[in-house]
Amino acid sequence: METMDLVNSLRIGLKGLSVHKVRAALSMLGIIFGVASVVAVIAVSQGARGEMVKQLAALGANNVIVKGIDWRSQTPEERKLKKSARLRSEGLTRNEARVLAESCDLIDAHAPWRRVFATVRKGEEPVAAEVVGTTPAFLGVMNFNLLHGRFLNPADETAARRVCVIEQAIGDEIFSDVDTPVGQVLAIDHEPYFIVGVLKSKEVTEEKFDVAQVRRLNRRIYIPLEAALRRTTQAPLDDEVTQVVYHCRDTAEVRSAEALIRRFYETAHGMEGRPLEERDYEIVVSQDLLQQVEQAQQIFNIVMLCSAGISLVVGGIGIMNIMLANVSERRREVGIRRAVGATKADILKQFLFESLIICLVGGILGCVMGIGFTILVHHWTGWQVSLAVWGMIVAVGVSLLDGVIFGTFPAWKAATLDPIDALRYE
């Protein structure tokens, strides 16, 4: 019997809305745009989250990176501090990296590498790429995969061989006329280097989220670190290595490893008690990069969701106004229903269902519009997006809550009308 009452109330509610179709449609607009905003914001946010996770994987989720300060890019005052730091330390070295890695149980691998400022040519044609000298451990520490050939091996490092491994993007660009770049020759700092391998590109696709480390990943050429030290030009203030990447055994131990690494370098470089700006190195944790971007993303999400929430509130106010107008116009209808036996609860359910129907239809249309907005954002900007079903369910649920909150007062007002006064209304 109760189910039949609900169905009857729903039928009467639909019939009541059909009398003023345009008015009902206009009252839905606020709900439609509010729900569409929520769906689009969640989709863009989820896509951004996916890109950040890819970048974290590209940098190595378990990595702690120690970077030497590049004095070339500093102000005169900062260069002065760099020179004074040289009186206390030699900068980043291979030996100290090896000592730390061997003495710390939390670290299972490390890879020092050096950025080489050298010209790269294929024949007479210049190649836009960054040259990096590194060790065989770099492949595993940075989670790279081979596409062709092999990576650098210990024999290459010991003999400082003129061999190199290139990124897939470089191979596709300058060796598109051959099946594989392996065996081809590039001139690095005017010396021939034979290509022995090609690395698969990292999955970093959105420039707007790139940090400098990630942006260069797919435009690099790797040579043995020993070759970089022996065969290329070095500036007087350069560290022996530009960076050292330490790979921790477990993600949960990254913070503990960071603290040990920080203390080790403070002692080794004579930097105890000195402010960060006076040190000749900095320590970066890959997880920190994700947190920084996530914080910025959260601010964006809050602002956009507040905007969407305002749209839903405005839509709810519009629904309340429409429902109040309906109650005033349909007083005689309410009086007739009460006269033939309808209870206050029946009238309450009738008008509340009308409000819920408006919000439900508006929520569904808003989801459709939100999907359309999301597709347009992806098409126009190239941003990665990820439509979330849970986001649509939440948006529709909030719109229904909107209907309950803003539809209850008009429904209550209709239910409490005096039947005799309502019948006399013209």
3-state secondary structure 238-263: CCCCCEEEEEECCHHHHHHHHHHHHH
Q: Which of 369, 346, 354 is nearest to 404 (CA)?
A: 354
CB 382 within 8 A of CB 334: no
Of the candidates 98, 99, 102, which has an alpha carbon nearest to the alpha carbon of residue 112? 98
Per the model's pLDDT, the better-predicted residue between 331 and 175 turns out to be: 175
| pLDDT tens digit sequence for 290-317 | 566 666 667 766 776 777 677 777 778 8
Q: Residue 277, Cβ neighbours under 10 Å: how many?
A: 10
Residue 387 confidence (pLDDT): 82
pLDDT in tens, 265-295: 988 888 777 777 777 788 888 666 656 666 6
For residues 125 and 266, give the distance between their C-alpha atoms in angstroms, rounded to a whole number: 45
- Which of 39-48, 133-142, 224-233, 302-311 shows the lowest mean pLDDT across its residues? 302-311
How far lies 272's CA from each of 126, 254, 279, 353, in Å? 45, 22, 10, 70
**pTM of this prediction?**
0.59
Query: Band of the pLDDT at 244, cuts 50, 70, 90?
Result: very high
Instruction: Report the relative pairing of strands 107-116 and 220-224 from DSSP bridges.
Output: unpaired
Q: Quick one: pLDDT band at residue 207, thresholds 50, 70, 90?
A: very low
Position 208 pLDDT exceeds 50: no
Q: Which pLDDT band holds residue 205 (cuts at 50, 70, 90)?
A: very low
Please, which pLDDT band fits residue 150 given cuts at 50, 70 and 90? very high
Dist. CA 227–CA 381, nearest whole Å: 42
How far is 35 from 311, CA to CA, in rounded Å? 8
Taking alpha carbons only, the member of 379, 137, 115 closest to residue 229 is: 115
The more confidently predicted of residues 272 and 131 is 131
